[in-house]
Amino acid sequence: MPANRTSKKEIKRESIIQAAIEVFSKKGFQAATVSEIAERAGVADGSIYQYFKNKEDLFFSIPVEKTKEFRTQLELHLEGISGAFNKIRKFVWYFLYFFTVSPEYGRLLMLEMRVSKSFVKTDTYDFLKQSVSSVLEIITEGQHEGVVRTDTDIYILRHLVLGTLEHIVSRWLLKDGKYDLLRHHQEVSRLIIDALRNPACPGAAPDGTPVKAGPTGEI
Amino acid sequence: MPANRTSKKEIKRESIIQAAIEVFSKKGFQAATVSEIAERAGVADGSIYQYFKNKEDLFFSIPVEKTKEFRTQLELHLEGISGAFNKIRKFVWYFLYFFTVSPEYGRLLMLEMRVSKSFVKTDTYDFLKQSVSSVLEIITEGQHEGVVRTDTDIYILRHLVLGTLEHIVSRWLLKDGKYDLLRHHQEVSRLIIDALRNPACPGAAPDGTPVKAGPTGEI
DNA sequence: TCAGCTTTATGAATGATATTCATTTCTACC
DNA sequence: GGTAGAAATGAATATCATTCATAAAGCTGA
């Protein structure tokens, strides 16, 4: 295909995605209609299907750009920060900050896509997962530093970090962002770090508290 | 209305809900059709609307019974256990156990309802929230015992506990329950407890590690 | 510039399905 | 057994997502 035609197609595709973002953000997946998206993009209903397999496929194309943005901005924010716990603090802050600035997108991602079986099969999801999983890198870095516990599967540590953050963001979105999402970011970091902290690491725990063994594994 | 007729209505309502559980579990909210539910319940399509405002209303009626079951069983399991951390361990185990035994229901609750704005407005949701929030009671109990930190908003502590657990369960459901959800329950409890633990409580931390102050609040 | 071919765009037609509503059937009570 | 009010019915309606036959536009080589 000629290059000229390709770029025109690309532009049209983009304008459809842009219209889709607006309409889906306003109405959610269900209530949004393909006709409205087509109208807003200035194309016929049928044309959408030249670019996307179906309504869902169009919906799932939205996160691609946003995820790239998340990833590059996060890298920028982590730049120059050393120490796994300092990076965790920054990650927590950035995660909450990101959704503070993009609540409409957050609604789509957190409340509609993240929870869909077909989305999980998507390439977009893999990309997203990989981006968010910089936590995993921070965790292993912390283990090498000796400050992060090595007695627990790192994927469980990730569940704790992302689970806590996603829960906070989801509940906030469900309440229409009626309060400041960032207001407790320091407490959240502190909590997460205390969970990740290596219990055997001298000098890592706070407040000079004397400590002793406790039972684990009891249900 | 005569009592006899009332109970007949109640029975029919139940049979519709039962049919709804089966069909929604098998196909999810979207793909399930009102006709199939009606057929399985042995009523006409239109009859559904005598009992429920619409398809969504019917859907959201499902958790009522299941939530009661969750709540009473949890109370039973906590019976006789003392100490906030022991209760947390039991809660973690029971939470994972519950979804292990009811994965189809879990899929509906965790992946479809929990994330819906209209569900959150529901009475059912309030009831559910209240049931799950026995964590809150355990947390304050632990604060009175002196073992749970008091430097952090208890709602944030709840975000950590429920966020971690719901994340674990959601990801498991999205992977079609292909592994044993309970296999890591002890690690999960340990992690959560280490996050909740009062950093100033002598004798609470593990392993006799000497500890000292660390910075908090830095991003 | 144009003929011939390919790609893209179109929107009316199709099919699926939630919901409504005029009509029928049932139930309780006299 | 007659009747009023409740409940049940399912055909009709309205709302989309998606398809597809047809038209328009883009490209190429002369």
Say if residues A92 and A185 touch (Cβ distance below 8 Å): yes
pLDDT for the residue B190: 97
pLDDT for position A100 = 98
pLDDT at B201 over 80: no
Strands (E), chain A: none
Q: Which residue has the higher pLDDT, B206 or B41?
A: B41
> Does the CB of A112 have a partner CB in chain B at under 8 Å?
yes
Question: Which pLDDT value is given to residue A200?
Answer: 84
Whether the CB-CB separation of A209 and B205 falls below 8 Å is answered with: yes
How close does chain B come to A95, measured CA to CA in Å?
Answer: 12
A205–B205 CB contact, under 8 Å: yes
Q: What is the structure's pLDDT at A133?
A: 83
Contacts of A167 in chain B (CB under 8 A): 159, 162-163, 166-167
Contact B139, B154 (CB under 8 A): yes
- The band of A61, judged by pLDDT with boundaries at 50, 70 and 90, is very high
CA of A7 to C1' of D27 (A): 15
Decide if A167 and B170 are in contact by the 8 Å CB cutoff: no
Question: Residue B44 region, left (φ>0) first, then alpha (ψ -120 to 50), else beta?
Answer: beta
For the segment B77-105, the average pLDDT, to the nearest whole number, is 97
pLDDT for the residue numbered A216? 38
Task: Find residue A197's DSSP bridge partners.
Answer: A148
Two structure tokens written together for B147: 């073992």
- The torsion angles phi and psi of A54, rounded to 5 degrees, stand at -165, -175
pTM of the model: 0.90
pLDDT digits (tens, 9 = 90+) for B18-69: 999 999 999 999 999 999 999 999 999 999 999 999 999 999 999 999 999 9
Protein residue at shortest CA distance from C1' of C10: A44
- Percent of the residues in chain B that have a pLDDT greater than 90, as a whole number: 84
Q: Which residues of B touch A192 (CB under 8 A)?
A: 160, 195
Asked if B202 is an interface residue toward chain A (Cβ–Cβ < 8 A), one would say yes
The mean pLDDT of B112-126, rounded to a whole number, is 95
Task: Choose the closest CB to B205 out of A30, A157, A209.
Answer: A209
Q: Which residues lie near nucleic chain C, judged by CB under 7 A?
A: A 1, 5-6, 9, 12, 43-47, 49-51; B 2, 4-5, 8, 32-35, 45-46, 49, 54-56
* Interface residue A157 vs chain B (CB under 8 A): yes
Confidence of residue B9 (pLDDT cuts 50, 70, 90): confident
**Residue A152 — φ and ψ, nearest 5°?**
-135, 135
Q: pLDDT tens digit string along A6-39? A: 677 889 999 999 999 999 999 999 999 999 999 9
Q: Which of the nucleotides lies closest to B33 (Cα–C1')?
A: C17
